């Protein structure tokens, strides 16, 4: 069977050879095991003939016992080394996938969502990691089986020829099965993923489901593909059935044919009774290969898993630089030059030129879906633009290393993910080794300190176990950005769930404590825009204007952005 | 097995499942016995073929016996052919039952707010269910066949010469006995591995779901190192399992190979004393080395890998509460638990709401979130609820929707207390829209008419136009566009639009919007809220922006003990706190827009 060299095949080879010692030991054990299985029928034949001749066979019995012991030890060693090698291969693949997924960043996440990538990391890598050893075992089985045929041939060519008659048929059957099941498996896995995705959707909308009393309907909707899953499963069983039926007829037919030819050999005196026993043993050995439908099924699954792993590993990753931004830790200038971004063919940002002088603040406003968050994401290189460049103090962000970037740009998001094992770790995520005082100061500035103290274990509470509202979650995200103490602070709709009083307090804290930093705020409220030095107004992914809030306020369209329909240009002026 | 083990949810589930599918199980058992019959006969037939045929120089007799062997084998193939769909008939419903049970339980817990797994949690559950399926399939295919072959081979051996069966059985039984404690160790180590794998899946799921935050915090390397440790844990757990497996392998090899050796050592004595023929000797050794030894080894291997893993995964699922109800055959599970319908099932006539000195606290010892609140919301009122985050606005609307029940006092729709209303009737009258815009996998049309399945396309499009979703429908390419899992990706604001139109189309006369427009930009929010005002009926809006309050007939300012209601003008005068809120909402009074 010649498999084409695909990335998946190459990956399997590399993973298996990752721990050469284990692989060598497993291979050695396999070969020794195969060799002893070959020796045993021959030893038995001699022994039986000797017994029939009534001679003492203690020497031969001792040799047989030794070979049986070696065969058992080889099997044990094979298990040990094979699993160790497989586990190492799994680890290697997983490290590779983790590295690749992290490096590919958010662009990679558009290709493989977090649950998908996690599934591949945990499931596909494991299956693929053990595939190499499984292939080795299968290869040795093939070799041993072939040697069994040769041994049979050495006893007498006729039974061997009888055996070989059946081989092409069996080969075809198994091969066909392999090809068909691989496709059936992929189909099965797709439907499974669909059910999981539907469940994730439903969990995201759980409050609506509770409010609507539609739990039973939702459950049925999630389970809707189950019938198709059953059909795909039945398809696999169907393939197994026809293969098992064909093999169940073929294999015994071969066995009986070989026995008949050998029996004839005994009658005409070509073959001794002992050799007849050996011939039976070698036939069984040769047939052993074909009895591994489950192993082959496993390989089909492993091939699909290897493909899924190779896909993730094969995705492009942006290069990262190592440059360090010089200068004192005050705000740095942010410049976007001719930046264009598109998502799934839709242009989100269109030739944006924007310059934010060091230490000033800029509000970014515009309707939903007009590119505000995308613009914010470019500054700290959460995304790369399709064309154009983003500069921090004149240095392209692509030339900065990870840690440098984090020191330059801090983010607070509308819905921050609370990572870390404790609230303290959550707030300190952007600043490793931050002391107690830094964390608490940041929490106070974000108006989070009070409620954190009321949590069951205060700053040591596990975020997942803390009962946090949307506003509280946002305040932890703000605290994290404040603690990061970066030269540019980007707030991407990070105060939307705060009540206006708290938002104003946080805004003040930002303006005071980070007065010398560059501040970029994606805003929905007029008050936020009013507080910034200048406002960048995005329409359809293009900059319509960059000016102070007061000047833009003259424009009726701008006012409409904030839901103000009055003709009065400045309703708040005394 | 200790009694406690029998009440384990996994065992209960297995028992319930086997009971529900006893026909399939009986068929498989009967066919399995039939399938292993050839093993029983093969040794005897082979010995006859040799003794009476080939070794006696009679070719035709030998061939006749082989022909009999062939006929038995054909029978076996026919049986196998019938058997495999039978295995599928057990395994596929098992998977269906598990998927149904896991989805039902996960949703039920999420709705009851006791546990809410994320994407990674779902991936983990999916994988565990799939593991159960493939393990059960493998066990049924292999262990069943191997175990029966082993028994049949020993019986066949006894048919050749009883003393041979004894020589064969003793080492086998000893080896199996030796394996039992090791299989237990294996089980424990398997648990360690499953735990390690789960920790990896959980942590990776969290970190990847929060990848944006990881990158923003420059924590990429730390994330990598964190996962690296967990990957290494799983790796070493797998290695420890291999060590136990190797030991089990050694013991079983001994038990499997010693019988053949014993028979050969004893052969000279046996042929003299027990009249053991050459054919019988060849048959016996063939049995022992080509059937008994491999079957024994494979069976223990299968039990030690798939069997132990199956037990571990089922245990995991049971501990996660996913097997709470023993699932019956697919489709037979009844509808999910609902709150018991009210005894009276009364129907209100009007659609005004009355809150009558209502107190509510989360738990008996907690400080009440709402204390002795009295409020009248006459039919047709537009009420805005304002107040700081965490002050209890969402709790209030949940009380109004009947999703939470007051500790003291009562809420009435028209004149009927909410708790006396039939839940379905209540929902037909009162619809609560939470902040998250729920979009499920399906077409836009299915999503929009979820609350009113008989709504026509015209009605959907009209509501969409009023609420401000027409452009989105155009962009997606019409009502047939697929959204949700596997469909067009929608932003948070677009999801809210879908939910808003869905509510606008429905027949409820009381609509509660709990920040249901917060992801829309102000002008879109404006339009959406105007759509509900124009729609008529009672509307309660938890205000996200002050503009919502300005549009309302009445405003409820929630401020702990100083909660009060009134019009905008009244509250400006009566409540400095309200004035403060409004001031900030419009831009701080000191630095108003247009300052320079």
Q: Dump pLDDT digits (tens) for B368-420.
A: 778 888 999 998 889 999 887 667 788 899 899 988 888 889 999 888 888 88
Look at B336 and A462; give whichever has higher pLDDT. A462
Q: Do B245 and A83 touch (CB under 8 A)?
A: yes
A313 CA to centre of own chain: 9
Handedness of CA A213, A214, A216, A218 (dihedral sign): negative
A310-325 per-position pLDDT tens digit: 999 999 888 888 888 7
All residues of chain B having their beta carbon less than 8 Å from the beta carbon of residue A207 are: 434-436, 438
pLDDT score recorded for residue A351: 92
Interface of A with B in 233-262 (CB under 8 A): 233-234, 237-238, 240-241, 244-245, 248-249, 252-253, 256, 259-260, 262
Does B440 contact A123 at a Cβ distance shorter than 8 Å?
A: no
What separation in angstroms does the CA of A71 have from each of A66, A241, B305? 9, 33, 21
Dump pLDDT digits (tens) for A322-380.
888 776 668 889 999 999 998 878 888 999 999 999 999 999 999 877 788 899 999 99
- The count of other CB atoms within 10 Å of the CB of residue A323 is 13
Nearest CA in chain B to A523: B521
How high is the pLDDT of residue B2? 44
Q: Which residue has the higher pLDDT, A380 or A143?
A: A380
Question: In whole angstroms, what is the distance from residue B144 CA to residue B142 CA?
Answer: 5
Q: What is the pLDDT of residue B351?
A: 80
For residue B107, which of A254, A42, A542, A210 has the smallest C-alpha distance?
A210
pLDDT at A296 over 80: no
Asked whether the beta carbons of residue B241 and residue A229 sit closer than 8 angstroms, the reply is no
Across A392-417, average pLDDT: 91
pLDDT at site A386: 92
The string of DSSP codes covering A281-345 is HHHHHHHHGGG-HHHHHHHHHHHHHHHHHHHHHHS-------B---S-SS---EEEEEEEEEETT
Model pLDDT for residues A529-557, shown as the tens digit of each residue? 888 999 999 998 899 999 999 999 899 88
Q: Which of B6, B260, B549, B418 is nearest to A67 (CA)?
A: B260
**Chain B residues within an 8 Å CB radius of A244:** 80-81, 84
Q: Is the distance from CB of B248 to CB of B304 less than 8 angstroms?
A: yes
- Test B246 with A79 for CB contact under 8 angstroms: yes
Interface ipTM above 0.85: no
For the record, the structure tokens of B107 come out as 């949703």
Query: What is the C-alpha separation between A283 and B116, in angstroms, rounded?
Result: 57
Q: CA-to-CA distance for A480 and B455, rounded, in angstroms?
A: 47
What angle (nearest 5°) sits at the alpha carbon of residue B121, between those of residues B119 and B126?
95
Written as tens digits, the pLDDT of chain B (596 aa) is 444 455 577 777 778 888 888 888 888 888 888 888 887 787 788 888 888 888 888 889 999 999 999 998 898 889 988 888 888 888 888 888 888 888 888 888 888 765 666 666 777 778 788 888 888 888 887 778 788 888 888 888 888 778 878 888 888 889 989 988 998 899 889 889 888 988 898 899 889 989 999 999 999 999 999 999 999 999 999 999 999 989 998 998 888 888 888 888 887 777 776 667 777 777 788 778 777 888 888 888 888 878 887 887 888 788 777 775 544 443 433 333 344 444 555 666 678 889 998 988 766 655 677 888 899 999 888 999 988 766 778 889 989 998 888 888 999 988 888 888 888 888 888 999 988 888 888 899 999 998 888 999 999 999 999 999 999 999 899 999 998 877 888 888 899 999 999 999 998 889 999 888 888 888 888 899 999 988 888 999 998 777 778 888 899 988 777 788 888 888 888 877 777 677 655 543 333 333 33
DSSP-based three-state secondary structure for A400: strand
Residue A203's pLDDT is what?
85
Rounded-to-integer distance, Cα A374 and Cα A342, Å: 10
What does the mean pLDDT of chain A come to? 86
CB within 8 Å of chain A, chain B residues 378-437: 387-390, 401, 403, 423-424, 427, 431-437
Distance CA B403, CA A426 (A): 33
Residues 380-439 of A with CB under 8 A from B: 380-382, 402-407, 409-411, 413, 416-419, 429-430, 432
Mutation pick from B34, B201, B213, B589 vs chain A, by most beta carbons of A within 10 Å, is B213
Contact call for A501 and B581, based on CB within 8 A? yes
Give B332's contacts in chain A (Cβ within 8 Å). none
Residues of chain A contacting B221 with CB distance shorter than 8 Å:
402-403
Give me the sheet containing A488-492, strands edge to edge: A409-413, A488-492, A518-522, A361-366, A534-539, A542-547
Q: CA-CA distance, B486 to A191, in Å (whole number)?
A: 11
CB B202 within 8 A of CB A39: no
Whole-angstrom distance, CA of residue B12 vs CA of residue B481: 44
Q: Do the chains contact at A402 and B62, CB–CB below 8 Å?
A: no
Q: What is the pLDDT of residue A292?
A: 62
Within 54-113 of B, beta carbons closer than 8 Å to A belong to 54-55, 57-59, 62-63, 66, 69-70, 73-74, 76-78, 80-81, 84-85, 87-88, 91-92, 95-96, 99-100, 103-104, 106-108, 110-111, 113
Question: Residues 119 to 158 of B: which have CB under 8 A from any A CB?
Answer: 119-120, 122-124, 126-127, 130, 133, 138, 141-142
Taking an 8 Å cut-off on Cβ atoms, the answer to whether B246 and A76 are in contact is yes
Q: Which B residues 182-201 touch A at CB under 8 Å?
A: 197, 200-201
What 3-state DSSP class applies to B303? helix
As to burial, measured by CB atoms within 10 angstroms (0-12 exposed, 13-18 middle, 19+ buried), residue B339 is: exposed
* DSSP collapsed to 3 states, B149-212: HHHHHHHHHHHHCHHHHHHHHHHHHHHHHHHHHHHHHHHHHHHHHHHHHHHHHHHHHHHHHCHH
Residue B444: phi and psi, rounded to 5, are: -60, -40
d(CA A392, CA A537): 21
Contacts of A539 in chain B (CB under 8 A): none
**Rounded CA gap, A137 and B221, in Å?**
37
Residues of chain A with pLDDT > 90: what percent? 36
For B333-379, the DSSP string reads SPPPP-PPPPSS-B--SS--EEEEEEEE-SSTTSPPSEEEEEEEE-T
Residue B512 pairs in a beta bridge with B432, B540
| A424-437 per-position pLDDT tens digit | 999 999 998 888 99
Q: End-to-end distance of chain B based on CA atoms, in angstroms?
A: 84
B107 within 8 A of A218, measured Cβ to Cβ: yes
Across the interface, whether the CB atoms of B87 and A102 are under 8 A apart is answered no
* Per-residue model confidence (pLDDT) at position A125: 93
**For A382-399, what is the mean pLDDT?**
92
Note the pLDDT of residue B63. 92
Stretch (H or E) spanning B566: strand B564-566
CA distance linking residue A130 with residue A126, whole number of Å: 7
Q: Best of B74, B123, B296 to disrupt the A interface by mutation (most A CBs within 10 Å)?
A: B123
Q: Tell me the C-alpha distance between A103 and A119, whole Å.
A: 18
Interface contact flag, A402 B427, Cβ < 8 Å: no
Token digits for A149? 């045929």
Sort out which chain A residues have CB atoms less than 8 A from B546's CB and list them.
Answer: 500
The residues facing A340 across adjacent strands are A387
Residues A573 and B222: their CA atoms lie apart, in Å, by 51
What is the C-alpha to C-alpha distance for residues A75 and B572, in angstroms, rounded to an integer? Answer: 86
3-state secondary structure of A364: strand
What pLDDT score does A571 carry?
A: 38
Q: What is the pLDDT at residue B394?
A: 83
Q: Which among A51, A244, A382 is the nearest to B267, CB-wise?
A: A51
**What is A190-215 written as a DSSP string?**
HHHHHHHHHHHHHHHTHHHHHHHT-H
- Helix residue ranges per DSSP H, B430-537: 444-448, 457-467, 470-476, 492-505, 522-535
Q: Which two tokens stand for residue A128?
A: 């693929």
Order across the sheet with B564-566: list the strands: B430-433, B510-514, B538-542, B382-386, B554-557, B564-566
């Amino acid at each position: 069977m010649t498999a084409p060299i695909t990335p998946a095949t190459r990956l399997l080879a590399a993973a298996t050879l990752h721990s050469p010692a284990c692989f060598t030991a497993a291979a050695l054990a396999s070969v020794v095991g195969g060799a002893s299985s070959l020796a045993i029928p021959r030893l038995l034949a001699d022994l039986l003939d000797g017994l029939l001749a009534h001679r003492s066979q203690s020497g031969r019995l001792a040799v047989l016992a030794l070979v049986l012991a070696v065969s058992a030890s080889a099997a044990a060693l094979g298990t040990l080394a094979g699993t160790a090698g497989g586990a190492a291969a799994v680890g290697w693949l997983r490290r590779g996938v983790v590295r690749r997924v992290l490096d590919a960043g958010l662009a990679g996440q558009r290709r493989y969502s977090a649950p998908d990538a996690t599934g591949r990391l945990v499931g596909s890598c494991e299956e693929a990691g053990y595939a190499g050893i499984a292939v080795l075992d299968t290869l040795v089985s093939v070799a041993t089986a072939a040697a069994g045929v040769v041994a049979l041939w050495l006893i007498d060519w006729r039974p061997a020829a009888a055996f070989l008659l059946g081989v092409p048929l069996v080969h075809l059957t198994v091969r066909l099965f392999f090809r068909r099941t691989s496709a059936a498996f992929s189909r099965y896995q797709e439907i499974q993923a669909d059910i999981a995705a539907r469940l994730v959707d439903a969990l995201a909308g759980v409050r609506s489901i509770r409010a609507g009393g539609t739990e039973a309907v939702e459950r049925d909707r999630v389970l809707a593909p189950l019938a198709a899953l059953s059909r795909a499963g039945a398809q696999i069983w169907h393939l197994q059935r026809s293969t098992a039926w064909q093999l169940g007829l073929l294999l015994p037919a071969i066995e009986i044919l070989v026995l008949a030819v050998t029996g004839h050999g005994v009658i005409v005196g070509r073959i001794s009774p002992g050799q007849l026993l050996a011939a039976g043993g070698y036939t069984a050995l040769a047939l052993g290969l074909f009895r591994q439908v489950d192993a082959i099924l496993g390989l089909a699954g492993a091939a699909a898993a290897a493909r899924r792993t190779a896909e993730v590993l094969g995705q492009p990753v942006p290069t990262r630089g190592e440059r360090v931004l010089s200068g004192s830790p005050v705000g740095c200038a942010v410049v976007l030059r001719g930046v264009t971004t598109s998502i799934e063919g839709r242009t989100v940002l269109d030739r944006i030129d924007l310059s934010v002088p060091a230490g000033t603040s800029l509000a970014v406003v515009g309707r939903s879906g007009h590119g505000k968050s995308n613009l914010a994401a470019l500054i700290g290189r959460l995304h790369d633009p399709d064309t154009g460049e983003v500069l921090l103090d004149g240095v392209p962000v692509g030339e900065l290393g990870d840690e440098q970037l984090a020191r330059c740009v801090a983010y607070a998001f509308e819905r921050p993910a609370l990572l870390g094992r404790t609230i303290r770790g959550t707030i300190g995520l952007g600043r490793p080794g931050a002391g107690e005082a830094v964390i608490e100061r940041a929490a106070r500035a974000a108006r989070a300190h009070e409620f954190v103290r009321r949590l069951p274990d205060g700053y040591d509470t596990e975020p997942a176990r803390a009962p946090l509202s949307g506003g509280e979650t946002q305040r932890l995200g703000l605290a994290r950005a404040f603690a990061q103490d970066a030269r540019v602070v980007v707030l991407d709709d990070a105060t939307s769930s705060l009540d206006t009083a708290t938002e104003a307090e946080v805004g003040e804290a930002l303006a005071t404590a980070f007065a010398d930093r560059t501040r970029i705020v994606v805003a929905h409220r007029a008050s936020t825009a009013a507080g910034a030095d200048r406002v960048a107004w995005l329409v359809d992914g293009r900059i319509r204007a960059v000016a102070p809030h007061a000047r833009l306020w003259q424009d009726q369209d701008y006012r409409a952005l904030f839901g103000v329909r009055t003709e009065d240009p400045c309703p708040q002026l005394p | 097995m200790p009694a406690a083990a029998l009440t384990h949810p996994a065992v209960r589930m297995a028992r319930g499942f086997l009971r529900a599918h006893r026909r399939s199980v009986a068929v498989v058992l009967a066919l399995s016995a039939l399938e292993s019959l050839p093993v029983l006969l093969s040794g005897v037939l082979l010995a006859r073929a040799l003794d009476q045929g080939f070794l006696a120089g009679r070719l035709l007799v030998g061939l006749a016996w082989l022909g009999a062997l062939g006929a038995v084998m054909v029978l076996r193939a026919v049986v196998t052919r019938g058997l495999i769909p039978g295995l599928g008939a057990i395994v596929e419903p098992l998977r269906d039952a598990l998927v149904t049970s896991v989805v039902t339980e996960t949703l039920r817990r999420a709705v009851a707010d006791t546990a809410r797994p994320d994407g990674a949690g779902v991936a983990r559950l999916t994988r565990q269910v799939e593991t159960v399926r493939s393990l059960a399939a493998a066990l049924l295919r292999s262990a069943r066949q191997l175990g029966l072959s082993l028994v049949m081979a020993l019986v066949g051996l006894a048919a050749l010469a009883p003393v041979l069966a004894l020589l064969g059985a003793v080492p086998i039984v000893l080896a199996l006995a030796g394996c039992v404690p090791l299989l237990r160790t294996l089980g424990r180590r398997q648990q360690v591995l499953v735990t390690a794998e789960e920790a990896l899946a959980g942590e990776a799921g969290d970190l990847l779901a929060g990848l944006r935050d990881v990158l923003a915090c420059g924590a990429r390397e730390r994330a990598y190192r964190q996962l690296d440790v967990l990957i290494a844990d799983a790796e070493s757990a797998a290695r420890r399992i291999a060590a136990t497996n190797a030991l089990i392998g050694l013991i079983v090899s001994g038990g499997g190979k010693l019988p053949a050796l014993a028979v050969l050592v004893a052969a000279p004595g046996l042929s003299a004393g027990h009249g053991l023929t050459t054919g019988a000797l060849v048959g016996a050794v063939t049995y022992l080395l080509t059937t008994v030894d491999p079957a024994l080894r494979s069976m223990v291997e299968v039990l030690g890998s798939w069997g132990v893993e199956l037990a571990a995964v089922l245990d995991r699922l049971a501990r996660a509460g996913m097997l709470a109800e023993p699932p019956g055959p697919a489709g037979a599970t009844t509808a999910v638990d609902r709150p018991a319908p009210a005894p009276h099932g009364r129907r209100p006539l009007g659609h005004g709401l009355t809150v009558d000195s209502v107190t509510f606290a989360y738990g008996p010892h907690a400080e009440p979130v709402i204390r002795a609140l009295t409020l009248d919301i006459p039919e047709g009122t537009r009420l805005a609820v304002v107040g700081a985050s965490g002050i209890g606005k969402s709790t209030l609307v949940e009380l109004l929707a009947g999703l939470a029940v007051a500790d003291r006092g009562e809420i009435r729709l028209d004149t009927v207390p909410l708790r006396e209303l039939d839940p379905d009737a209540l929902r037909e009258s009162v619809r609560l829209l939470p902040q998250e815009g729920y979009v499920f996998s399906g077409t836009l049309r299915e999503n929009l008419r979820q609350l009113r399945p008989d709504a026509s396309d015209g009605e959907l499009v009209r509501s969409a136009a009023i609420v401000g979703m027409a452009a989105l429908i155009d962009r997606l390419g019409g009502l047939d566009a697929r959204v949700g899992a596997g469909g067009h990706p929608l932003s948070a604001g677009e999801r809210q639009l879908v939910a808003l139109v869905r509510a606008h189309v429905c027949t409820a006369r009381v609509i509660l919007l709990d920040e249901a427009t917060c992801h829309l930009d102000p002008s879109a929010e404006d339009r959406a809220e105007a759509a509900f005002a124009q729609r008529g009926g009672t509307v309660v809006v938890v205000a996200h922006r002050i503009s919502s309050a300005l549009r309302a007939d009445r405003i409820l300012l929630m401020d702990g003990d100083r909660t009060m209601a009134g019009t905008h003008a009244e509250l400006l005068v009566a409540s400095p706190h309200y004035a403060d809120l409004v001031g900030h909402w419009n831009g701080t009074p000191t630095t108003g827009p247009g300052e320079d």
